[in-house]
Structure 1
Amino acid sequence: MASPRGRLELLAVVPAIGLCVAGLWALRGGARVPTARAQAGEAASCAELTPSARRGKRIYQRGATSDGRVIEGAIVGGAAALSGREAACAGCHGPSGQGTSEGGITAPPLTAERRLASSGEGAGGATTAAALAAAIRDGRGPAGEWLSPVMPRYLLAEADLMDLVEYLGCVGRDLDPGVTAGSVVLGAALPLTGPDAPVGAAARDVLSAAFAEVNAQGGIYRRRLELRVEDSGGPAGEAGATRRLLDGDVLALVGSVLGGGPALRSRLEEERTPLVGPTAGYPGLPGGAGAPGLAGGAPGLAQDAIEAEAVDGAGVVFQVLPGPDVLARAAVKHFAGAPANAGAPALVVHARDRAGEAWASGARAEAARRGLPALPALSFEPGLLAPGDVAGAARARGARAVLFWGPAADLAGARAALDDAGSTAPIYAWLGSVAERAGSLSRRLSGRVLFLHAGLSGERERASGAALRAFLRRAGVAPGPIGAQASAYVAAQIAIEALKRAGAHVTREGLIAALEQLRGFDAGPAPPVTFARNRRTGVLGASLVRIDPASGAFAPVSEWLEVVP
């Protein structure tokens, strides 16, 4: 299969002509496409696509049929193969057929009005199914001429071809769930009852206030942003709340809780419903570890997102903060960057759970990338660590550092055992595991324990915190869990920016594409966020802090440690 980079290299040497446009401009005679006037009269019918057009939309946007078959083709005489998303029309011509231009390469628009305006009704404005099939399958134009070599030659069944043609009559005029002429509906599953109700209420209020601020300025492309919230604290839980939102038609989920259940994630993927900035990192919530705010993050959920993108790079969950594997990689980067540690071994100690395994995996991967010796690992059941085992393993391996993932009490025990054994090796750990207990653990964890912090620090943290509090006062939002408020604010700002970039004809695929284009976006109380086609975690790195033994406060140790995606 050709990579996106490989396809762009081919596009750079010949005119950009994709699957759909070739058939539409190159063919003449036979059944005519509707006139501009007729198409304008049919705009209302495109709001509710026919079954055939819905199947064609899937081919256009995702390069796959409704029964799961991927579309396949080849360019330059079969020199490069394409399938799935790489073969989709939307990849070149945009999710709404608006056309794209990048690096001097232009893919023309495919909306019916633009096609007619550019070609004229008497010339390129007429096509036949037979001629279209010849262009797509054989790469031949109406006079038998070869079309551009970058136009893929596709293996499309007759029924799939007809579905695609029918959708092209509506591309750019159909409406995705949650979108009307005057509004865009966004959803959030949040705990409004039960022990975590204060967290859910805080996130809801901030999301509502952020959208209200946009609406007061005229909305986005004259559409109001509406928030629909379902209670994830009820009997049906998070899964039931999310299902109700999807059944009720929302364009996307913003700041919604998500535990990563396979059935629910599968539905989000199937319907291509993006989830921006999931709320997590609190007791009882997915990924919760008792850590407040963005400093805590969502280790389990972030790992779900990482594993999803490892499969096909096209997941729909856009997580802000890194998971355990990225944090461990940042720790290894810092350890290996010290000249005294060149080639020195380190010991990985981790809880025997999914997040702990991810921590160990990330540490091993970064060590291998840097040519370090293989990192030995010691796993334990949370709460049942034998501290002496850590000291013994560190001594036996000659470890110059310990990378620890687990509960705060186990971390304190390991540190005490290492002290008793005379070890001075630094201990790297996740800040979220101790953030709420820093004061009570200050004497036991101060000094040598270096905590990985994926949020802002120093003056930037103070400035962003002040800006958030000013927004809350301006919006009349009552004081609440500041971490939940910060997380919701970041999610809202990312979603608002992506909606602006997605254009007037917003679709789920268009919103996903807009999110993929965010680079170094300042969303407020979080490090700059970057997403990409194969990157669904916005922040890839961390800095290090330690507990000051006198004050119990956190003090910075390092600059930001960015890791390679």
Structure 2
Amino acid sequence: MRSLISALFAFLLITRPACAADTSSAEALYREGILPSGALLVGQRDAGLVVRGAAAACVNCHRRSGFGTAEGQIVVPPVAGHYLFRPASSANDDMDYRYLPGYVNLKHQPYTERTLAQAIRQGIGRDGRPLSELMPRFDVDETTMIQLIGYLRGLSSTLSPGVTEDTLHFATIVTPDADQASRDGMLAVLRQFFSDQNDYLRGGIKPMQSERNVFYRVKRRWQLDVWELQGLPETWESQLHEKLAREPVFAVISGIGGKTWAPVHRFCETEALPCLFPNVDVPVIAEQDFYNVYFFRGVLLEADLIAARLALATATSQASGKSSAGPRVIQVFQRGDAGEDAAAHLAAQLAASGQPPPLDRPLDSDAPAGEINRALSNIRENDVLVLWLRPGALAALPSAAPRASVYASGLMGGLEHAPLPSAWRQAALVTYPFELPAPRHVAMNFPLAWFNIRHVPILNERVEVDTYLACQIVSDTLSGMLDLFHRDYLIEQLENMLSRRLVNGYFPRLSLAPAQRFASKGGYFVRLPAKASDAVSPEGGWTVP
């Protein structure tokens, strides 16, 4: 009877047609730990340990791609169908996958539907030996097992859109509110970097084959499409969908925006399209998303830094009995600029910590000096003044600084080059979400030398250095993928290698984890010197709010 049931089970797995509902249900199980019934997936480990729901989802260890991972001495093998059901062989004729974590020994027998079901339910591998104790045992019904194994069969089974036999297609996205000089600088870097990549392929490089037919890799040229958006933000997503339909791409690399980037973020998440390190001051904070990766949180990180410092100061004051409430916070920003979002974010952070709401004093985008002076009127000694202003507005500040505590956005104001009047330079603490200028000097030698040798004009140094860094990171990531050009695997490999980089341009360090989408997470507070030629003075160390 048992053999008859097993044979019937195998027959159903082979002959039962897949449907969209099956795929969706299996994907929910694999990624979220939710069974087709809506109940939570339950996994049992040794010693009675139980995991449920998201904690039991396959994606936690085997990743979205199904290619597995490695952490120290722990290797999680791939579960994509190509590896599970690969016929046993003594020949090395499939070595394009040899660098994957948990690469399967070619001499091992492949899984069958029956042995794979046994592995999932009982933790018994294809060789009859117990699997790692890290692998939970899942008691799922026959229908669910059929759906799951069908999902694994198709997982990462074809190359992603934008990948052809000889070309990797990329796009970069430019919004209409992006700064023109920064846009031109970014595109100059991208075009030169792509040209350098393709210079190695001139004359045509064919796949390398040995006498034993070992396939190593195919060099693919890089092609860049520039997607320039037009009109209002509510039309950008439809424009992007049309562009992607006409020009399928493997990933979006760099890009540049102004105040608004959310439509681009939503588009990339909807299309499962990696969007890697765009130049934006106001990114979308959605750590649960997968495909959008940023260098840092921009002005929102600066708001977090200020909120954390104010919360600490308030707590210290309350502990000493000096005050029971936080200070009055006054924010000055220009309408329609990134500072408007930063001010709203700071207000939300203050409210979350139980502090009084700030008093906003918005300015017109081209505010004259008189309007700025009025915004700074009636500032009391115990107030906190936060300036979310660009260099032009900072230069128009009155010569006398208020006696209040003053914070200024370094990102918006120009960092150490912020044109604060003399009296304000020592009064203001400037947020600085990058490495300090002196230790950054060595890391900057690499991109600046490249700009010089390649005759790339420097129109906005930080934007161009970040763009160069994004290109280098993508190049390094791709070099470790061989020909496994799957979008999910690109993100996973980027997570794995990013923290190993030693040279990171403006940033002291970069790192990502599966639930993180901002590679740099902290910053400094600095005071600007009286003379622009002197070094900035940090107030405390690197802080992660």
Q: Which amino acid aligns with 1:543?
A: Y
**RMSD between superposed Cα atoms in Å:** 5.0
Contact (CA 8 Å) 1:119, 1:125: kept in 2 or not?
no
- In terms of fraction of residues, the more helix-rich structure is 1
Q: 1:182 aligns with which of 140, 156, 166?
A: 166
Contact (CA 8 Å) 1:439, 1:552: kept in 2 or not?
no
Q: 1:357 aligns with which of 344, 352, 355?
A: 344
CA distance in 2, matches of 1:474, 1:66: 57
Residue aligning to 1:228: 225
- Aligned runs of 1:275-424 on 2, under 5 Å? 275-280=275-280, 298=281, 300-301=282-283, 304=284, 306=285, 308-309=286-287, 312=288, 314-331=289-306, 346-351=327-332, 353-362=340-349, 375-383=355-363, 394-395=380-381, 398=382, 402-405=385-388, 419=402, 423=403
Q: Which amino acid aligns with 2:345?
A: A
CA distance in 1, matches of 2:125, 2:526: 64
Contact (CA 8 Å) 2:416, 2:536: kept in 1 or not?
no
- What secondary structure sits across from 1:541 in the alignment? coil
Count of aligned positions: 480
Q: Which amino acid aligns with 1:239?
A: E
**Cα deviation digits, residues 427-460 of structure 1 (max 9, x gap):** 1211233339967642353221121122343334
Q: Does 1:239 align with 2:225?
A: no
Contact (CA 8 Å) 1:190, 1:256: kept in 2 or not?
yes
Q: Does 1:442 align with 2:421?
A: yes
CA distance in 2, matches of 1:332, 1:489: 32
Residue aligning to 1:540: 521
Distance 1:537 1:348, change over 3 A: farther
1:188 CA drift (Å) = 0.8
Q: 2:71 aligns with which of 90, 96, 102?
A: 102
Residue aligning to 2:91: none
CA distance in 2, matches of 1:176, 1:155: 33
Distance 1:51 1:505, change over 3 A: farther
1:52 CA drift (Å) = 8.4
- What secondary structure sits across from 2:516 in the alignment? coil
Distance 1:548 1:60, change over 3 A: same
Q: Which amino acid aligns with 1:266?
A: R
Distance 1:364 1:461, change over 3 A: farther
Contact (CA 8 Å) 1:59, 1:71: kept in 2 or not?
no
1:543 CA drift (Å) = 2.7
Distance 1:507 1:513, change over 3 A: same
Distance 1:439 1:250, change over 3 A: closer
CA distance in 2, matches of 1:94, 1:139: 19
Residue aligning to 2:153: 169
**Cα deviation digits, residues 346-395 of structure 1 (max 9, x gap):** 54333584321212444677xx6xxxxx6444321411889789776744
1:494 CA drift (Å) = 2.6
1:65 CA drift (Å) = 8.8
- Aligned runs of 1:87-236 on 2, under 5 Å? 87-111=56-80, 112-113=82-83, 115-117=86-88, 125-128=111-114, 136=120, 151-152=135-136, 161-171=145-155, 173-190=157-174, 196-217=179-200, 222-233=219-230
Residue aligning to 1:8: none
**Cα deviation digits, residues 381-438 of structure 1 (max 9, x gap):** 411889789776744xx45x6554456788789987863xxx3x44121123333996
The answer to which of 72-81 and 132-141 deviates more is 132-141
Q: Does 1:74 align with 2:55?
A: no
CA distance in 1, matches of 2:415, 2:106: 67
Residue aligning to 1:254: 253
- What secondary structure sits across from 1:427 in the alignment? strand
Identity of aligned residues (%): 22
Residue aligning to 1:499: 478
Q: Which amino acid aligns with 1:524?
A: G
Contact (CA 8 Å) 2:156, 2:486: kept in 1 or not?
no
Q: Which amino acid aligns with 2:342?
A: A
Distance 1:323 1:436, change over 3 A: closer
**TM-score, normalised with respect to structure 2:** 0.69
Contact (CA 8 Å) 1:207, 1:488: kept in 2 or not?
yes
The answer to which of 488-497 and 464-473 deviates more is 464-473
- What secondary structure sits across from 1:527 in the alignment? coil
Contact (CA 8 Å) 1:387, 1:417: kept in 2 or not?
no
**TM-score, normalised with respect to structure 1:** 0.67
Q: Does 1:428 align with 2:412?
A: no
CA distance in 2, matches of 1:260, 1:351: 20
CA distance in 2, matches of 1:389, 1:381: 6
CA distance in 1, matches of 2:125, 2:379: 71
Distance 1:393 1:154, change over 3 A: farther
Contact (CA 8 Å) 1:257, 1:278: kept in 2 or not?
yes
1:187 CA drift (Å) = 1.3
CA distance in 2, matches of 1:268, 1:70: 30
Contact (CA 8 Å) 1:188, 1:230: kept in 2 or not?
yes
Residue aligning to 1:510: 489
Q: Which amino acid aligns with 2:449?
A: A
- What secondary structure sits across from 2:170 in the alignment? strand
